[in-house]
Structure 1
């Protein structure tokens, strides 16, 4: 990072290990952007290059889910409208619908697959139905100046395609997740619906690995842990944003690391930084 992340004096726990891990990643040539906000105070706890815009892969699906939920609430879309994958260009980069026998799903189930499994085909089905211009308008209405959904998922990107699925800044991602759990994203109903979809996310391998939650059943945790997250991956891209709340405090967070994926060591170094942040977030909320 160009500048050292800064931590407010009011922080209940230090993020020394996270700072060290992020510095090591940055020293290896990676671009790093991080933001952690205290949900109760509404103040930053940790921030470093959080204005910078980076590729975020499937994390860019969150504004699409917000637009879909808003369309459901406003009656512009029927949640039970059937979408058939036969009418879509096949894509195999991620997800499970491509492996299922059922060829068609209601829109609301496609939204669940997009949120819970990062399903590329289901995401593309939703995007095909609502349209990229509507999602871009929604992003603007949410006040996200440094975020964009650029394209659908593709197995290969040609010269006429957008180079990335989505772009975002860590600051805006943290603010977006804070708005979702505080019922301020479009409406309380839309916020609740999108938060519910995202609470089903199976990818707990990065920041979320520190929570000890069951990846397949973590909606109702007996240890008073509230957790909602979404990850994004791509060639040399790892990103995660979410909300973590415990008995002591709550945070909205986002971390983006763009690195040269030259070896497994480079990749694991990036993953370790996410997990280190997760450990210190758990210390903060407990």
Structure 2
């Protein structure tokens, strides 16, 4: 299958013809094979937590932080919505435990705790090292955003995010960091978007199922549906980033956006199984 044929196999989606959609699909060598408005900056909601995980993985690899370092759960104010930690009675967790909660269930309280330990400056420095110019974690998670607060948790472009995931598949920025982050992303339980049609068990898909494996991070807000990751089948892999924002989401409560994200996953799976030009033997979850 040629790159042009692959591009036709994953687009157009009905919603992707509107201004509210951006997507980018790459081989894990980094070649972009399908894209739509991929350089537009959009709100990415919890996808930005990936930058925090990358900064932590580097700090642990370099020995400036320990994954076993204990963190007191009440060290930051409580925060609601996604996550399990707010419902648990455990008073202390390790830094590594916080990362698992963030990757698996996009835990908001764990995010704010880990951000307090790692530091926003270290996250931003990691962003710069990775060559991300318009993809940023802007703030901690807040129940309410006031006029003096950053307007959103994170933002980015589909092009930068798909390139970031392709780099992780190539063991960038280093084998240790990439392996750690891929292991976390393999735990992601939110398969409601790109993964929704793949027949995977949301709670146990680390080793893949039915010839398909997914490592991903999603983000969701009132007017945001975002999903970035690595999708593999038959030993082949693609890196993808798909961002739907604004009217593309809010007009019908996200129904169309979620349907089209599902179609992206199915299209990529079918392209991979038909032998599209993706590298074989790309990474498993670890």
Which runs of structure 2 are paired with 1:122-133 in the superposition (5 Å)?
Answer: 122-133=110-121
Which runs of structure 2 are paired with 1:65-76 in the superposition (5 Å)?
Answer: 65-76=53-64
Distance, in Å, in 1 between the alignment partners of 2:16 and 2:168 is: 30
Q: Which segments of 5 or more consecutive residues in structure 1 lack a partner in the other structure?
A: 1-7
Describe the superposition over 1:194-238 as per-residue Cα deviations: whole angstroms up to 9, x where unpaired.
100010000001001122111000011254433210001112001
RMSD (Å), alpha carbons = 1.8
1:161 corresponding residue in structure 2: 149
Distance, in Å, in 2 between the alignment partners of 1:170 and 1:117 is: 22
2:201 corresponding residue in structure 1: 214
Alpha carbons of 1:124 and 1:283: their partners in 2 closer, same or farther (altered >3 Å)? same
Alpha carbons of 1:48 and 1:14: their partners in 2 closer, same or farther (altered >3 Å)? closer
Size of the alignment, in residue pairs? 272
Describe the superposition over 1:249-275 as per-residue Cα deviations: whole angstroms up to 9, x where unpaired.
321000000023555x34101111101
Q: Which segments of 5 or more consecutive residues in structure 2 lack a partner in the other structure?
A: 274-286
Which runs of structure 2 are paired with 1:43-82 in the superposition (5 Å)?
Answer: 43-82=31-70
SS across alignment from 1:45? strand
Describe the superposition over 1:158-181 as per-residue Cα deviations: whole angstroms up to 9, x where unpaired.
111101111110011101111112
- CA deviation after TM superposition for structure 1 residue 78, in Å: 1.5
1:5 corresponding residue in structure 2: none
Higher alpha-carbon deviation: 166-175 or 266-275: 266-275
- CA deviation after TM superposition for structure 1 residue 241, in Å: 0.4
CA contact under 8 A between 2:28 and 2:167: conserved in structure 1?
no
1:3 corresponding residue in structure 2: none
Alignment pair present for 1:10 and 2:33: no
CA contact under 8 A between 2:162 and 2:241: conserved in structure 1?
yes
- CA deviation after TM superposition for structure 1 residue 13, in Å: 4.0
Higher alpha-carbon deviation: 170-179 or 254-263: 254-263
2:254 corresponding residue in structure 1: 267
CA contact under 8 A between 2:7 and 2:33: conserved in structure 1?
no
CA contact under 8 A between 2:71 and 2:113: conserved in structure 1?
yes
2:192 corresponding residue in structure 1: 205
Which runs of structure 2 are paired with 1:175-190 in the superposition (5 Å)?
Answer: 175-185=163-173, 187-190=174-177
Alignment pair present for 1:173 and 2:166: no
Describe the superposition over 1:80-122 as per-residue Cα deviations: whole angstroms up to 9, x where unpaired.
1111121211100210000011121000000000011000000
CA contact under 8 A between 1:15 and 1:280: conserved in structure 2?
no
TM-score after normalising by structure 2 = 0.90
Alpha carbons of 1:183 and 1:16: their partners in 2 closer, same or farther (altered >3 Å)? closer
1:247 corresponding residue in structure 2: 234
Which runs of structure 2 are paired with 1:73-92 in the superposition (5 Å)?
Answer: 73-92=61-80
Alignment pair present for 1:191 and 2:178: yes
TM-score after normalising by structure 1 = 0.90
2:284 corresponding residue in structure 1: none
Distance, in Å, in 2 between the alignment partners of 1:246 and 1:217 is: 17
- CA deviation after TM superposition for structure 1 residue 75, in Å: 1.0
Distance, in Å, in 2 between the alignment partners of 1:20 and 1:274 is: 9
SS across alignment from 2:3? coil
User: Of 27, 34, 38, which aligns to 1:38?
Assistant: 27
Distance, in Å, in 2 between the alignment partners of 1:97 and 1:137 is: 28
Higher alpha-carbon deviation: 13-22 or 268-277: 13-22
Alpha carbons of 1:262 and 1:253: their partners in 2 closer, same or farther (altered >3 Å)? closer
